[in-house]
Amino acid sequence: METTKILIGYAVYLPVALFLTFYVSKTLFKNSKVYMLDIFKGREEIANATNKLFETGFYLLNIGFALLIMKITIGANDYRNLIEALGSKIGGFAIYLGIMLFINLYFFFRGKRKAKENQRPNPFQPSM
């Protein structure tokens, strides 16, 4: 009956990983619009489009990674081993998500700084 325990593990792991990804990207991209507006000098359509594209990429990357590391192997066939394996899987995924979040934030800040640097030599002119 080892199969059933591992399948239970998958049934727990997948919803948790998907929910974590969904929640993190929702918070991140709700708050990133301001940066995008800054980076693209207030041109709202381009900022929104880029934001949406980044969000899609974030989803793809994280769900792909979550599925890639899904395989669970447990030594003995009981709930204790299953819970330990699940803990390490979900914990590892959460840490990975945190690192991705910080990398994304770094990119936002860098983009904002660069946009500011570009503005200083020739002051902002509304294009078109």
Partner 1 sequence: MDYNVLGYAIFITVIVFIIVVVGKICYRNGNIFVAELIPDHLDLCQQINKSLLVSYYLVNIGYCAMTLIGWETILSSQQLVEVMSVKVATIVCILSILHYLNIYLLTNTIHKLIK
| Residue closer to partner 1, measured from CB, 80 or 122 | 122
Q: How far is the CB of 28 from partner 1 (least distance, A)?
A: 15
Among 40, 74, 86, 104, binds partner 1 (CB under 8 A): 40
* 88-94, Cβ contacts within 8 angstroms, sequence gap of 24 or more: 89/13, 90/13, 90/16, 90/17, 90/20, 93/17, 93/20, 93/65, 93/66, 93/69, 94/20
**Contact in structure between 13 and 89 (CB atoms under 8 Å):** yes
**Which of these ranges, 24-32, 52-60, 74-82, 86-94, lies near partner 1 under the rule CB under 8 A?**
52-60
**Which of these ranges, 35-43, 76-84, 86-94, 95-103, lies near partner 1 under the rule CB under 8 A?**
35-43
